[in-house]
Structure 1
């Protein structure tokens, strides 16, 4: 392969890679619900040795979590784009529903969606 052809191929590859930036924000839209206030379980160090320490609280809070997997409504480069789209979806739904934007979301080993950061936006 000629050096000039190699350089053209390399530059083309770099330009293509630069244009395919991964989206960082995921929009989760819930058309019929208000976002629940989900708290982390409050477990004290003294309760750790107890066999059922905090389990009822954890289980009840897990059942309160919204179905985020089926609520994914798009992927965006910026938080502002994600929030704008969520507000637009609320307007189309006559002001009903709520949404949240998650940063760098992924599935954990239990197929639960985890994100580095959450921004909740209620009605």
Structure 2
């Protein structure tokens, strides 16, 4: 019976980041569009969640209210191509916290789907063992 409590806790902990991501997406209409000054493709090898270490990401430099900010976000092919082909690209930033960009929120919660998937798989295995 205690294994079901652990699995239930894992599922709840996996749902919390997904709920938060959905809430941030719903708040998108209040985000402000800013032009990207510089865009660099980077790859992390030493820090961050294990699920994201091999994936490329983007480091964007932008100005909001005459201050310069940087934001690391998930790699988006369209943004990368727009910036390098036309020299102009735009991202969304939170007006209350300008260091937070919209697609940064997506990268931070990508691993939650893996967490939920493995929790569900563990639940199925436990049910099969009980039968």
TM-score w.r.t. length of structure 1 = 0.27
Return the structure number with greater relative CO, CA threshold 8 A, min gap 6: 1
TM-score w.r.t. length of structure 2 = 0.26
- The structure in which a higher percent of residues are strand is 2
